[in-house]
Each structure stands twice: as C-alpha cells, then as structure tokens.
C-alpha cells in the first residue's frame, strides 16, 4: 500500500480507456506531460487547464508511475534544463485539439480502431467457452472457493455470506457451488497488475482475471481495506505482464467477496456501469494480452 504524496496532481487522458497522455500539474510551477506518441516531458502552460477538463481522469502517484513506465519513462526523473516548451493559443480545448496541437503532442492517431472485429469475435468465443465450462464444472478447491466475484463467498466460515446468501448454497464437501454463482460476463485469465485506489492510498495487487463486469485480484495477505461490500471509487489501472498494455477505468467498484487460498488472499470486485468506450477498451486490453499469452 502506497500513500499518495498529494503534492502534484497527476492526470491522464484516455482513448477508449487506453491512456495516451499523462500530465503532472502543480500551480504555478509544474505543467508537464508525456504521451504515448511523444514520451519526452514537454512543458505546456495549457496543462493548468487540464484539471477542469471533464474527460481528464485524476490518478494516484503509483498509477501515474505505471503509465510512465509503460512508455519507458520515470515519473519522478529529474527535470532537464532543456525541456522543450509548447506555446499555444489559450485557452486550451482538450476535448477538441487543433491539428498542430496533436502533432506537437504526438497524438495524431486518436480515433483509430483498437481491436479488429476478428479478435473481438475470438474473445467472445473464449468467454462463451469459459461461461459454459464454469456452469458445468464440478466444484474444486480453487473454483469452488472463488467461483464468482460479482456474487461470491463470504469470508466467514459460519453465518450468512457477504452477499446475503445462506451458507446452505455451498455444495456438499464445503465448497461454493460454482453453478449458483453467475457472473455478468465470463472473465478471461490475465497475468498482470492492478493498481487500485482506496481513499488516499493505492494498493498494487496481482491481476488474476478480468471482464467488462469485474476483476479478481490476489494479495499475499488480507488487508481490512478489501472486506466484502466495501466500495472503491476508482479509477482502476490495469497492466498486462506480457505487454505494455494498460487501461484506466474511471468507474466505481464494489468488493463482493474475499477468501484465502494457501498464503494468498483473493478478492473480487464488481464494476459499476462502464461507458461504451470503456467496454471497448477492456475488449482491446483482453485481446492484446490474450494474443501474447496464447489461447490456452
């Protein structure tokens, strides 16, 4: 768990949940940004307007550091004396940048397709197979204990489950009945990291699986912060281990369950309603990460 320093404001702009611009702003002396197309820090006084842009997402220091690392840069690297400065007409309309502004920032690519229809169809096919196998599978030590994140087991051994269901819904042998726990969308296994904000702190966890409906994460221990029914206000930042792919979902979430597996604590989060662009971003992220992992 890493507290947010709170001295500098970090913001991202995203295209279908995929960050393309990262800024650090502190009035009146810090106004710098890097982009996926131009990963060199650029001084831009127009960034002082960015915190008031509705599409800008405020992220924590660890989340910003992850985005910068994905572009091969350090968030807190010493500022060089020769950092270029971009002088523009003011005020800045960050929702509709002029062509010269896009070129200066290296973001002429905005609006291009993220994932081909064929790859999205492959993803949907995989999710359908996962859903079918989960519904027909017999409970096991792993799948039974963590059958569903949107509606999952309570952490207590006795008494009602965290989602209000009786422990009677457990299958014989003490494991959770996987068939009784339906997810809105089947999750796809993703090896990576999740950077989750909770209040003024950010927790970096292992990413287990993800879908448009929610996420499952793993930690070496069980912090009180992730007790069932807790609310997470977002944003969530996810990074795939085998690629530099990252997505930033500016959405709230609810912790639906947690439980132990060996020395690790797994917990499931159900997302609030995603926008169409965020849904497309999740699909792109899953197809990109899955193509590197292979279809297995």
Where in the sequence is the domain holding 47, given as residue range(s)? 2-78+85-105
Q: Is the pLDDT of residue 91 over 70?
A: yes
The 10s digit of each residue's pLDDT in 40-61 is 899 999 999 999 999 999 999 9
pLDDT at 211: 93
Cβ within 8 Å of residue 196, ≥6 positions away = 202, 203, 204, 205, 217, 232, 236, 269
Bridge partners (DSSP) of residue 33 are 23, 42
Q: Can you give the CATH number for the domain in which 195 is found?
A: 2.40.10.220
Same domain, 278 and 210: yes
User: Does 100 share its domain with 169?
Assistant: no
- Tell me if 180 is assigned to some domain: yes
pLDDT at 169: 30
Question: Does 60 map to a domain?
Answer: yes
DSSP 8-state class, residue 123: H
Total structural domains within the chain: 2
Q: Check whether residue 138 and residue 227 sit in a common domain.
A: yes
User: Does one domain contain both 160 and 260?
Assistant: yes
pLDDT bin (cut points 50, 70, 90) of residue 8 is very high
Q: Are residues 70 and 124 in the same domain?
A: no
pLDDT (0 to 100) of residue 146: 40
- Residue pair 269/256 in contact (Cβ under 8 Å)? The answer is yes
Please check whether residue 5 is in contact with residue 20, taking contact to mean a CB–CB distance below 8 angstroms.
Answer: no
Mean pLDDT of 209-217: 94
Q: Are 48 and 31 in contact (CB under 8 A)?
A: yes
Name the phi and psi angles at 245, rounded to 5.
-70, 135
How long, in residues, is the chain? 296
Asked if 145 and 283 sit in the same domain, the reply is: yes
Do residues 155 and 40 both lie within one domain? no
Kindly state the percentage of the chain with pLDDT values over 70.
66
Whether the full predicted model's pTM is greater than 0.85, yes or no, is no
Across 22-36, 155-169, 203-217, 250-264, least confident range:
155-169
Q: What is the mean pLDDT of residues 114-118?
A: 60
Residue 111 lies inside a defined structural domain of this protein: no
Q: For position 104, what pLDDT does the model report?
A: 85
Asked if 252 and 234 touch (Cβ cutoff 8 Å), the reply is yes
Over residues 106-118, the mean pLDDT reads 68
Domain identity same for 65 and 171: no
What mean pLDDT comes out for the span 20-36? Answer: 94
My answer on whether 96 and 198 are in the same domain is no
Mapping DSSP to helix (H, G, I), strand (E, B) and coil, where does residue 224 land? helix
| Of 55-64, 223-232, 268-277, 282-291, the least confident | 223-232
Tell me the mean pLDDT in the region 126-152: 46
Question: pLDDT for 156-187, tens place per residue?
Answer: 333 333 333 333 333 333 223 333 334 567 88
DSSP 108: T
Residues 133, 260, single domain; the answer is yes
Q: Is the pLDDT of residue 140 over 50?
A: no
């Amino acid at each position: 768990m890493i507290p947010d320093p709170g001295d500098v404001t970090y913001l991202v702009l995203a295209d279908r949940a995929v960050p393309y611009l990262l800024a650090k702003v502190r009035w009146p002396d810090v106004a710098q940004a890097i982009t996926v197309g131009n990963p060199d820090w650029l001084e831009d006084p127009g960034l002082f307007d960015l915190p008031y842009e509705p599409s800008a997402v405020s992220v924590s220091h660890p989340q910003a550091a992850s985005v910068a690392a994905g572009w091969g840069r350090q968030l807190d690297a010493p500022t060089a004396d020769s950092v270029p400065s971009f002088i523009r007409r003011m005020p800045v309309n960050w929702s509709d940048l002029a062509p010269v502004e896009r070129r200066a920032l290296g973001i002429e690519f905005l609006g291009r397709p993220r994932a081909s229809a064929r790859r999205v169809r492959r993803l949907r096919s995989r999710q359908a197979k996962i859903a079918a196998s989960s519904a027909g599978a017999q409970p096991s030590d792993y799948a039974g204990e963590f059958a569903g994140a949107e509606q999952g087991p309570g952490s207590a051994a006795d008494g009602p489950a965290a989602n209000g269901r009786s422990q009677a819904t457990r299958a014989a042998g003490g494991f959770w009945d996987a068939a009784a726990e339906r997810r809105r969308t089947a999750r796809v296994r993703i090896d990576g990291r999740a950077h989750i904000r909770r209040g003024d702190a950010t927790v970096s966890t292992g990413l287990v699986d993800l879908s448009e409906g929610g996420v499952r994460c793993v930690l070496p221990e069980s912090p009180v912060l992730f007790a069932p029914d807790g609310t997470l206000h977002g944003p969530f930042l996810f990074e795939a281990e085998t690629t530099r792919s990252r997505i930033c979902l500016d959405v709230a979430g609810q912790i639906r369950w947690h439980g132990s597996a060996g020395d690790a604590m797994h917990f499931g989060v159900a997302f609030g309603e995603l926008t169409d662009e965020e849904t497309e971003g999740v699909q792109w992220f899953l197809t990109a990460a899955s193509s590197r992992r292979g279809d297995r």
